[in-house]
Amino acid sequence: MAPTRVSNATNTGDLAAELRVAVMKTSRRLRLESSSDTLTPAQYSVLAGLRTEEHTIGELAGREQVAAPSMTRIVKGLLEAGLVTRTSSEHDGRLVMVALSPAGRKAFHAARNQRTAWLAVRLETLDAKDRATLARAAALLQEMSAK
């Protein structure tokens, strides 16, 4: 592993730029680590959005910031793969609800576990102080993202 580079960011603008690049590179690498022939990054993201509750196509499109026709294509692929189910809404029969199927839950967890394992291997190479720094950074990033 290459030596750790210490940031020379002296103002918030420089730090923001460095963090943006680091987050983007890490995110890209994590996506690559769990890429497979059966689950695209967009499909993984939709499965992640369905892990706790069902949603309409419109809700999923809004969450993913894509147009409804694009989300319809993504969901169609997930349906064909048996990873999601479609049912009518209990409250409004005109609405179609999309939910994870058991196979979808399994595929989501497998992809997530693969990403987590890749990152865990890299974290094991760091000393306790650096892992503590990253733990604090992770908490701060989650806090900032929630605002």
In a domain, 112, yes or no: yes
Does some domain include residue 3? Answer: no
DSSP sequence for 75-95: HHHHHHTTSEEEEE-SS-TTS
- Bigger pLDDT: 60 or 36? 60
Q: Does some domain include residue 119? A: yes
Structure tokens, 58: 């419109």
Q: What is the CATH number of the domain that holds 119?
A: 1.10.10.10
**pLDDT tens by residue, 99-128:** 999 999 999 999 889 889 999 999 999 999
Question: In this model, does residue 20 exceed pLDDT 80?
Answer: yes
Q: Is residue 30 part of a domain?
A: no
Whether residue 6 lies inside any domain: the answer is: no
pLDDT at res. 56: 94
The residue range of the domain holding 54 is 36-146
101 Rama sector, left if φ>0, alpha if ψ -120 to 50, beta otherwise? beta
Cβ neighbours of residue 99 closer than 8 Å, sequence gap 6 or more: 50, 53, 54, 84, 85, 87
Torsion 8-12-17-20 (CA) sign: positive
Domain total of the chain? 1
Give the whole-angstrom CA distance, residue 10 versus residue 87. 54
Query: Is residue 59 assigned to a domain?
Result: yes
Q: Is residue 68 part of a domain?
A: yes
pTM attached to this predicted model: 0.74
Is residue 11, in this structure, part of any structural domain at all? Answer: no
Q: Tell me the average pLDDT of the chain.
A: 88
